[in-house]
Amino acid sequence: MRQAPTQARTDAGATAPLWQLLATVASTLQSVLAGRSATAALETVAPSLRPGVQSLLYQTLRSLGRAQVLRSRLVARTPPPPVDALLCTALALCWHEAKAPYPAHTLLHQTVEAAKHRPATRAQAGFVNACLRRFLRERAALIAATDADPLAHWNHPPWWVRRLQIDHPQAWQQILQAADAPAPMVLRVNQQKCTPAQYLQALEAINIEASPVGVSGLVLRRPVPVQQLPGFEAGWVSVQDAGAQLAAPLLLQGLNLHAPLRVLDACAAPGGKTAHLLELAPPGASWHVTALEVDAARSGRIHANLARLGLHAQVLVADAACPQDWWRQSGGLPFDAILLDAPCTASGIVRRHPDVRWLRRPTDIDQLAAQQARLLNALWPLLRPGGRLLYCTCSVFRAEGEDQVQMFLAHHKDAARMPAPGHLLPTSADNRPTGQDDTHYDHDGFFYALLEKKPA
């Protein structure tokens, strides 16, 4: 029988009462359900609690649909938001016995303690206790009764599931299953400083297991704090999903990398793709790389990442869709290569950000597609003939991928489509399609279209 701990590990060597973590998870979940991103909500959590809270919150978000349907079976009316968030947190964490982080009875008792300690839920502690005790008594019947509900089964909003069924009729289940698997930690080796093989040896020397993925990537068997990675502060590696690591090589393929190049990363924060472009520059190459970011605060992350890696780019705070505000400052000459990693629904990175599915609304897709079209149309005139633009999104919805590019090509006869993956659907170690090579193994969902401007 598993031990029933009431102390939970938080940061290195520290512990906190489990009820305190559960109370904080519920409060953070309430913020997410009110429309705040999990990233922003977690920033308000005490640093000592944050790792434990994030782990439990992400597990809760991955089973939130099931929890909400179970809650609807247990109570006639939805409780007030603080009580509902706490109740759904407990149900999400304990409904699946094999995946529960703690024994069910421990979660029950500690959730009731959390209710007693929070002013917003104190008066409802008995109600929470009664609901959870009933759930444990009737667990098998309640789970069986909710299995057929799409929200409970897929843990995504029904509109999201319907959209995937239309966009990817052969792969929609694979996409949803991948979204519920925690993402691995993948590193991009900075080949200006070492090779993937050399870095793999450095990891093995300190008993960190990893395997190659793609051209410059290593996927860790278990995530570790970046401070434990050899040479991280010296810029040997960065954390970047294997699918995202395709962007920079795709954009640069076919270009003369030894020639002076003008390169634009149009929506650059936090700077991972900007850095990867610079890492691929040959020794002595004379490149002018401009990184644009409309958000001044987020642009600071580009500076920080480039500084750690020992790289340099011109970083401008500006809206890429308004070249009149920044083009002259970037040099006022056509670009040889443009990377447009456009704002999108982030529907391809749900396994990494499980709050996204609960934050998005169906209307977001059309609004973001309009913004993507505006960016494409604004940046295309800035590309020289023979130059290349890589359009990418971390979305699996066709409106932000294939449909967007088809519309662009219909209105720009000087654009030629070059080989690129198109919709790169998310895969995990558990659902990799048979025969898929290691280059595209265990990655988030992306869309890539490479466009070359025909000579006038």
DSSP string, 417-450: EEEEEEEE--B-TTTPPTT--GGG-SB--EEEEE
- CA–CA distances in Å: residue 227 to residues 45, 47, 63, 185: 21, 16, 31, 14
Alpha-carbon distances, residue 384 vs 85, 261, 318, 389 (angstroms): 53, 11, 21, 10
Per-residue three-class SS string for 8-70: EECCCCCEEEHHHHHHHHHHHHHHHHCCCCHHHHHCCCCCCCHHHHHHHHHHHHHCHHHHHHH
Q: Where are the alpha helices (DSSP H) in 265-320?
A: 272-279, 296-309
Question: Which of 306, 376, 314 minimizes the C-alpha distance to 342?
Answer: 376
Q: State the catalytic residue, choosing from 88, 94, 131, 394.
A: 394
* H or E, element range at 219: strand 217-220
The long-range contacts involving 409-413, CB below 8 angstroms and separated by at least 24 positions, are 409/451, 412/380
Backbone angles phi and psi of 6, in degrees to 5? -115, 0
Question: Which of 377, 388, 391 shows the shortest CA–CA distance to 423?
Answer: 391
Query: Residue 279 is encoded by which pair of tokens?
Result: 């890492």
Q: Which two tokens stand for residue 31?
A: 């913020």
Residue 394 known to be catalytic: yes
Distance CA 260, CA 153 (A): 54
Q: What is the CA radius of gyration of the chain?
A: 24
Q: Which residues are catalytic?
A: 394
